[in-house]
Structure 1
């Protein structure tokens, strides 16, 4: 267990076979959920050892089976306080749990984990309050977190409870071996009705709280199918190959079909009011992956929450 009140913490992790021959800063970054910059700084400061030997350069290659020990800096005070506060989260539904993982259906208005400036409820805090002990891998504020959903997006998340689950699931998400399915209501009728959006996403050039399709962004791929059509809107089934921040919202805004209720990305406020929406109509309804403990494929599904169900009923009533 890490010492949340202490100054610095030490983490020891084995190098998995899939990381054979990679640079030490890359391995530290991916295994502990740190940025490459922070990982490189830790190496430069002598805070990273491999099999008991201090690394001298971030470009040093590591071998599978070696043990990496990292002395981590303390989290910021506001993050440390948030981590220490394990508070029940209303509406956080535990869909499945065992010794390796816990799958939850996250309600809207809940963040995946604490972060500077966020004072609301979190998945990690809610799980801690419910007695779930999460993987110690990753930074304190993100222990067990292998992927995230936006605060304004509801639906399924898997959180790692064991160290092997954290390692295997992080790798599975990176290698795109996890099936993530979403439902969304987009304004208008996309043409064609089914297709793929392959457009890079990066920070918005003028608004730092938003993301956008930009030439120098990270590769981002969204597959979509129209499954129901209403006057002025469409219910979409979506699959992601990548998991960029706000990916679905940005891609559909770029198509000229922002998600209903998504005022940040250009949705019609009159439609949002008519449907009773105070957030984007977007729900992560299905999650499928290989269980890190059993090796078997597992599938989980989540029903639409009440606000999205009501908005959908109002659209159907107009037909």
Structure 2
């Protein structure tokens, strides 16, 4: 592991060392950085410090990013709802509550564990921990995902995502009554500077565009269809929070007083793409799960008065 270094600038004077290192390292959390400091992977002027050390102008910070131990991923006999499969691609309807790929705290029970049991020929572009995974949806979001069974298919599907030609339609239930019938949320998304575990609309974020259409209005909620033009982490959840209509049941971006459904009311209903080998257009649709349907049924009852 190579040491990285940084000399504290005048505008960084008096900043906490852990906060500054988060800014200097993309895609790491403050908790991770504090772990580096605790394990002596960080030094200031060749001395170890604590996480609350206040940096001084001219301080020389050196640090290493410790190597992550590879996960031992086991194939697991977990039932999968396969919508389509051939020698190149697979389309699966992921259930609510299932994590897509293994990570710290989720080493088993994931979609990847199930896929490894179901088929042994998955693309390796994303490494041993995410074989076949071209795109993701959140743990408590249900719905359609495409999986690559070889590297050629993976590159073809990834290119379509980059070119914004993949058709992705979601259904969601959001707080509040949206007055207009349709709209577009065009707001860049990046790490929330106040909470590294969350995403937010930020000035220097990556382009993020969500189109939506109202399907039905209730007394305090709205049922919407969303079409993704881009695919940023938590995009729909962050965008609807941004317009003050957070998703119902969302524990991370919604209000404390929300529907008790154990996670956001969000379902990836439609997925369309060009087959990466044959070039044939393929489109799939999956009905929302029972818990989502029950939310709509209960909301419909509030209109019957």
- What is the aligned counterpart of 2:259 among 258, 266, 272? 272
Aligned pair 1:80/2:68, yes or no? no
Separation in 1, partners of 2:206, 2:92: 28
The CA deviation at 1:119 is 3.3
Separation in 1, partners of 2:143, 2:213: 19
The CA deviation at 1:206 is 1.1
- What is the aligned counterpart of 2:174 among 183, 186, 202? 186
Aligned pair 1:262/2:250, yes or no? yes
Structure 2 counterpart of 1:289: 273
SS of 1:184 mapped into structure 2: strand
Tell me if the contact between 2:178 and 2:217 (Cα under 8 Å) persists in the aligned partners: no
Structure 2 counterpart of 1:172: 160
The CA deviation at 1:116 is 2.8
- Residues 36-79 of structure 1 show CA distances to partners (whole Å, capped at 9, x for unaligned) of 99xxxxxxxxxxxxxxxxxxxxxxxxxxxxxxxxxxxxx843x4
Separation in 2, partners of 1:191, 1:246: 24
SS of 1:210 mapped into structure 2: strand
Tell me if the contact between 2:210 and 2:228 (Cα under 8 Å) persists in the aligned partners: yes
Separation in 1, partners of 2:125, 2:205: 29
Count of equivalent residues: 240
Structure 1 counterpart of 2:107: 119
The CA deviation at 1:125 is 1.0
4+ long deviations beyond 4 Å:
none
- Residues 255-314 of structure 1 show CA distances to partners (whole Å, capped at 9, x for unaligned) of 110001013112353x413xxx11100000000000112111000111111111111110
Counterparts in 2 of 1:268 and 1:117: CA distance versus 1, 3 Å: closer
SS of 1:265 mapped into structure 2: coil
Structure 2 counterpart of 1:317: 301
The CA deviation at 1:132 is 4.5
Structure 2 counterpart of 1:7: none
Aligned pair 1:214/2:207, yes or no? no
Aligned pair 1:89/2:73, yes or no? no
Separation in 2, partners of 1:93, 1:267: 32
The CA deviation at 1:120 is 4.4
Larger Rg: 2
SS of 2:259 mapped into structure 1: helix
Structure 1 counterpart of 2:30: none
Gaps of 5+ in 2: 1-25, 28-66
- What is the aligned counterpart of 2:224 among 218, 236, 246? 236
- What is the TM-score normalised by the length of structure 1? 0.71
C-alpha RMSD of the superposition: 1.9
Structure 2 counterpart of 1:155: 143
- Residues 221-250 of structure 1 show CA distances to partners (whole Å, capped at 9, x for unaligned) of 000000111111111010011100000000
Separation in 1, partners of 2:287, 2:194: 37
- Residues 94-114 of structure 1 show CA distances to partners (whole Å, capped at 9, x for unaligned) of 111000001000012212211
Tell me if the contact between 1:260 and 1:268 (Cα under 8 Å) persists in the aligned partners: no
- What is the TM-score normalised by the length of structure 2? 0.75
